A and B are shown apart, each in its own frame.
Chain A
Amino acid sequence: MANGIVEDPLIFVSIDADGIVTLVAHRSEMGTGSRTSIPMVMADEMEADWSRVKIVQAPGDEPKYGNQDTDGSRSMRHHIQMARKIGGSVRTMLARAAAQEWGVEPDQVTVEMHEVKGPGGQTAGFGDLAEAAMSQPVPPHEEIAYKTEDQFRYIGKGEVQITDLHDITTGKATYGADVTLDGMKFAVIARSPVVGGKAISFDATEALNIPGVESVQELPYGGLGQKFAPLGGIAVIATNTFAAIKGRDALEIEWESGEHGSYNSDSYMQELIATSEKPGTSARTQGDVDGALASADKVFARTYTQAHMAHIPMEPPAALANYTDEGLEIWAPVQSPYTTRTDTAKALGLDPEKVRVNVTLLGGGFGRKSKADFVTEAALLSKAVGAPVRVQWTREDDVQHSFYHTTSAERIEVALDADNKVTGWLHRSVAPSILSTFAPDEGNVLPLEQGMGLNDLPFDIANIRCESGKALAHTRIGWFRAVSNIPHAWAIGSFVGELAAELGKNQREMWLELIGEPRQLDPAAAGLPDNFWNYGEPMTEFPIETGRLAKVLNVAADGIGYGKELPEGEGIGLAVHRSFVSYVAAAARVKIVDGRITVPEMHMAIDCGFCANPERVESQMQGAAVMGMTVALHSGITYRDGAVVESNFYDYDVVRSDNYPSVTTHIMPHPFSVHATGVGEPGVPPVPPAVANALFEATGERKRDLPIGTTV
């Protein structure tokens, strides 16, 4: 993790004379609760009263705060120990300061709920000791007497309200487009419909006649392989958002499409499927799959596909930049505050020391707001017009100019022996890679994409080969919540359902047979490559444990009553997947209502190691169920002649309140000694195959292409 973890309490904690404890939240809040849960862990270990804790958001400054990239389901996984260390340090410092003042030994002093007590009945508030405590030397780890689990007040309880709750419910919470500066201008940008396209000519006469439109600025053009650089285009600068939008509508622009103008989803998918039928590059070779297939009693193969997806957070990208002689100041809803700072500095030729990135709340992120092209746009425009500029993306901009989730074809072929036991598993995945956003594209995927559900297959099968086929990107590929786990889990989970039906087994039996006995996957015996990702974690500490996988599957299946009699037109589907070193199972009940696919009920079972904030884990599972359903039924970005066809919720819709699943969340209990693992993303991957497996049970029809659609 770039710039690592900082554990210095003096960076993260301050206490004022009134005893108010201010904690720095250094990771971005996009709905997962990191701005609540990490400070909550600090407060608990510090024995601070949560009602006397204030949270402030860190600007983008990784040398000071450590890694701030809020992605990869890492906030709690990587910071629970750091937060305890910081809280424990401050508690120790408070006790030592009090001991000095009272002339007693530090171990005679107790710290409890914002109060410090001595052996002779002495008491002091945090405020009384603030100065003396915060000037104590920071104790090393081994000198901190950490709380035991039974002493936790907030950790593991799920009883605190989220930090911004009052502001959110009263409209006072500040998101990207909510910061204003005197003299601020509003900008909306016309971008090439095709990535890498340019304006050959444009006429802004009509746009400039619109009241409120002040100027038109051409931005330098971008394309593929340029990291998060803006796409460029023609910006309309105005005195309000409406004038800017109207001005953009009035621009007459002739676009040149460039090399990606022939990108068409239908023909591209046929290419991906054709590639999946030919040998690719192996990402894992265990045993002899070719031999197993050649000697099989029966071979069973299926192909699954997925269309591109856009994240469409409720808040479309928006950012404010103010470029002056002193430097550049930014207010933006970004998952990557420090990358935003360094990238924007580079784009403007500034020393990063001259750039400050203030992080607002994010109105959803899902990976989109790791890529701060919209911030660089605002910075370039502020410099160009000599005033603060807010760039506002419209929803159409967001749907049509994103960094898209990849599109893929997944072919799985298995060898069955005479007893219908699976003896060989060949999975070929073909999808354009995130790598194409960072480097010249050669059609190869990254080990981390292969590690997300392709080569970490946890099944007990003698012969396994997982391959990647080449696919060149024709649009900007980015990460979307759960990333490559979505197409991989879609294929594997659907295939297990199909195989069960083919072999006359129920889904649970089929899953459990393939998962096998509880064991840890042996990386060498499994033929995993040296670059096997494992989410950046050592396999020794975060092994692939099939017992945990089977456990969550059984809990979800039992929770929904798998196997019970169902009325005509209903079915239950099961799927389970390990991602972000967590294990999540989804059990979905589908009900066909007048031809419409509804999912009235879902059980989500998660094993995320020690669970610091069960309430936010539950909300993440509820949200993952809804987003997973949207992936299953709705989300498909289509290209025609290089341009995205969809534009707004009317043709790129999501699950709404009239079809949300009632979710029951089961969190596997663990002591603190079991590593906390990811939560934000791993709920999503098992949901689409669970829905498809349920749909098959309800209708007898097998769907293999995402999105499935909303009707049967």
Chain B
Amino acid sequence: MTKIMLNGSETEFSEDPAMPLLWAIRDIAGLPGTKYGCGAGLCGACTVHVDGMAQKSCQLTLSDVEGREVTTIEGLDPDGNHALQIAWRDLNVPQCGFCQTGQIMQAASLLSENPKPTDEEILTSMSGNVCRCGCYQRIVDAVRLASTGS
């Protein structure tokens, strides 16, 4: 049995402790906002927060996060109104949308550590999150908007 604090609730998993956190979140906890994109830590679609830090959930097992706080996009803000979510909507960022929850979780971690990142810091921080539709320009604009208000 693995216990984790998932979006603020203590949650128990009876599955194989070697199960990647990604599949525990999606298949067992039934939270679909965290996406499978590569399973190899290369695309960032599965990004969640572990103790507040962005992590690729496909690269962590249940046992890796035993007793820790895991936040998914569903738990980022109770009303879905995190400054980044608002900025994303203000700029109509997504195309297909699939990678966007991972992008938002990565950006939220960046802003909590570094509330006023430079453009260079935004680009570097976000480079592990692939967007095949090519929304990067608006993603960077949205992170900047959430950070500075402009």
- Chain A interface residues toward B at CB < 8 A: 29-33, 161-162, 164-166, 168-175, 177-178, 180, 186, 211-212, 240-243, 245, 312-316, 361-366, 392, 394-395, 615, 619-620, 622-627, 648-650, 654-658, 660-663
> Taking CB as reference atom, which chain A residue is nearest B23?
A242
On chain B, the residues within 8 Å of A366 by CB distance are 132
Given contacts A170-B80, A186-B27, contact A364 B37 (CB under 8 A): no
Among B27, B97, B123, B127, point to the contact of A361 (Cβ < 8 A).
B97
A619 near B135 (CB under 8 angstroms)?
yes
B140 within 8 Å of A (CB atoms):
yes
B39 within 8 Å of A (CB atoms):
yes
Majority-rule SS of B interface residues: loop
Enumerate B122-150 residues with CB–CB distance to A below 8 Å.
122-124, 126-140
On chain A, the residues within 8 Å of B36 by CB distance are 177, 241, 316, 392
How distant is B118 from chain A, measured CB to nearest CB, in Å? 13
A626 near B136 (CB under 8 angstroms)?
yes
A240 near B15 (CB under 8 angstroms)?
yes
> Taking CB as reference atom, which chain A residue is nearest B37?
A314
B38 within 8 Å of A (CB atoms):
yes
On chain B, the residues within 8 Å of A658 by CB distance are 123-124, 127
On chain A, the residues within 8 Å of B122 by CB distance are 657
A650 near B134 (CB under 8 angstroms)?
no
Among A169, A186, A662, point to the contact of B89 (Cβ < 8 A).
A169
Q: What's the tally of chain B residues with a CB closer than 8 Å to chain A?
A: 57
B64 within 8 Å of A (CB atoms):
no
A316 near B37 (CB under 8 angstroms)?
yes
B32 near A363 (CB under 8 angstroms)?
no
Sampled A-B contacts (9; CB under 8 Å): A165-B88, A242-B27, A314-B130, A315-B98, A364-B98, A622-B134, A623-B133, A657-B122, A657-B139
B26 near A241 (CB under 8 angstroms)?
yes
On chain B, the residues within 8 Å of A650 by CB distance are 40, 42
In the complex, given contacts A172-B33, A212-B15, what are 16 additional A-B residue pairs having Cβ atoms less than 8 angstroms apart? A31-B94, A165-B94, A169-B100, A171-B31, A242-B15, A363-B99, A395-B40, A622-B134, A623-B135, A626-B133, A626-B134, A627-B133, A650-B40, A654-B130, A656-B136, A658-B124
The complex places the Cα of A406 from the Cα of B86 at a distance, in Å, of: 41
On chain A, the residues within 8 Å of B38 by CB distance are 395, 648-649
B55 within 8 Å of A (CB atoms):
no
B134 near A657 (CB under 8 angstroms)?
no
A171 near B33 (CB under 8 angstroms)?
yes
B127 near A170 (CB under 8 angstroms)?
no
On chain A, the residues within 8 Å of B33 by CB distance are 170-172
A171 near B95 (CB under 8 angstroms)?
no
Given contacts A178-B32, A392-B36, contact A314 B23 (CB under 8 A): no
> Taking CB as reference atom, which chain A residue is nearest B72?
A171
Among B15, B20, B30, B136, point to the contact of A657 (Cβ < 8 A).
B136
On chain A, the residues within 8 Å of B12 by CB distance are none
The complex places the Cα of A362 from the Cα of B94 at a distance, in Å, of: 12
The complex places the Cα of A624 from the Cα of B133 at a distance, in Å, of: 8
On chain A, the residues within 8 Å of B96 by CB distance are 29-31, 313-315, 361-365
On chain A, the residues within 8 Å of B40 by CB distance are 395, 648-650
B135 near A395 (CB under 8 angstroms)?
no
How distant is A597 from chain B, measured CB to nearest CB, in Å? 16
Q: Which 3 A-B pairs have the closest CB atoms?
A: A171-B33, A626-B134, A363-B98
On chain A, the residues within 8 Å of B51 by CB distance are none
The complex places the Cα of A226 from the Cα of B94 at a distance, in Å, of: 35
B113 within 8 Å of A (CB atoms):
no
B80 near A162 (CB under 8 angstroms)?
no
Enumerate B61-97 residues with CB–CB distance to A below 8 Å.
72-74, 80, 85, 88-89, 92, 94-97
How distant is A613 from chain B, measured CB to nearest CB, in Å? 10
On chain A, the residues within 8 Å of B133 by CB distance are 31, 314, 364, 623, 626-627
Given contacts A622-B138, A623-B135, A626-B136, contact A171 B94 (CB under 8 A): no
On chain B, the residues within 8 Å of A186 by CB distance are 27
A314 near B99 (CB under 8 angstroms)?
yes
Among B20, B45, B80, point to the contact of A314 (Cβ < 8 A).
B45
